[in-house]
Amino acid sequence: MSERRVVVTGAAGVCGLGNDWAQVGEGLRRGRSGIAPWPPLDTVEGMRTRLGGAVDEPPLPADAPRKKLRGMGRVSRLATWAVGEAIAASGLEQSLLSGGRTGLAFGSTSGSPPDMVTFALAYGAERRQKGITPMNYVKLMSHTCAANLAQYFEVRGTVLATTSACTSGSQAIGSGYEQIRFGRQEVMVCGGAEELHEIEVGVFDMMFATSTRNEAPTETPRPFDVDRDGLVVAEGAGALVLESLDHARERGAPILGELLGYATNCDGAHLTAPDPAGMEAAMCAGLADAGISADRVDYVCAHATATEAGDVAESHAMARAYGGHTPVSSLKGHLGHSLGACGALEAWMTLEMMREGWVAPTHNLERVDPACAQLDYVMGGPREAALEIAVSNNSAFGGINTSLVFGRFES
């Protein structure tokens, strides 16, 4: 089977810096922070952190049919908004969405947490079924985003749900890439979303992985910094429209960039502790899939969440995979860690920076931890750079790693 080139024809997202590239790009350039005190955490006994990266939920179209919305929790609504914007940017018509040659791959860490709580209380603590509806389950099921998106946009091709924690969004993009590359679909709508909730924050807080700079929210998280004290959980959604090059050309679609390669693997070592060897293997496999050498990479968007062990492990993996000359930054200093959404959001932002020719710094990085590898850390302000090849990497609990390799489009 011949392999096909895969291009990006639409992209969009919503995060703590805004809901379009003009807002987000300006925020990255000017060092704005999407982190603030999040009041719901104040009511949880024992919660150490009080910070979150909440977003203002953009409204869905006023004429959206109720039957298409009733099974959506917040995570699905954020996903639907981002996908709608990406589809509009790509110029995809409804006939293409519903024609069977367009598929969808979308992920989140879980379903909508409030409905998980409602379900658990009803059946677990209160032993009742009264008041629970099938829609509660639809909102909490692990593939709620993919299922709701497919119904809302009437997608009739392949539908894939990726639920791999912090690699959910990037695995969705990679899965979509493979569907097109090997001829199974012409178009794939891909991405990830996450909904901020006490459950999501609590998982990391009980592991002492969250930042407790509660009085200085804009000064945290601090990826790679010697004074980092943990991550900040955030929410949002990102979406890319992927398309075979031939199909995109045939319909005159805008081409934002090319997805040259993708890899995903597992450390196979520990459920929560990072393994630099596994990370390095994924990075090298991504380059091999793209057919390029490490010295051609112009920028790496790191996963770096600002945990003590994670940043060190990833830095050494990058040093071995790419060498020490490649500019590296983490966008989580601006955005926080949006879990299942981060891979899609960071892929979108990496693509946009490549198109415009600059690299965002790691916000709040002032002094690199000596335990981290010696790399070209972008810090202090944005850096103008001609980017031909840019990589976006992510890692997740379970030892899951992903690497997406993007290229400036050349016919």
Active site amino acids:
166, 303, 337
Candidates 68, 196, 241, 72; CA nearest to 144 is: 72
Residue type, 257: G
Q: Which helix (H) or strand (E) holds 322?
A: helix 308-322
Q: Let me know: does 227 contact 369? Beta carbons within 8 Å.
A: no
Q: What DSSP string describes 6-61?
A: EEEEEEEEEBTTBSSHHHHHHHHHHT----EE-GGGGGSTT----EEB--PPPPPP
Q: How is residue 403 annotated by DSSP?
A: E
Distance CA 193, CA 276 (A): 26
Edge-to-edge strand ranges of the sheet holding 159-162: 159-162, 102-107, 187-194, 236-244, 6-14, 257-266, 400-407, 389-396, 299-302, 327-330, 376-377
Distance CA 143, CA 407 (A): 30
Q: Let me know: does 51 contact 220? Beta carbons within 8 Å.
A: yes
- Residue 94 CB neighbours (<10 A): 10
Helix (H, G, I), strand (E, B) or coil at 400: strand
Residue type, 212: T
Residue with tokens 């393994």: 275
- Taking the mean position of all CA atoms in its chain, how far away is CA 364? 20
Q: How is residue 126 annotated by DSSP?
A: S
Distance CA 402, CA 285 (A): 9
Q: Of all residues in the chain, what percent are helix, strand and coil, respectively (each to 5)?
A: 40, 20, 40
Distance CA 188, CA 105 (A): 7
Distance CA 337, CA 355 (A): 24
Distance CA 258, CA 361 (A): 23
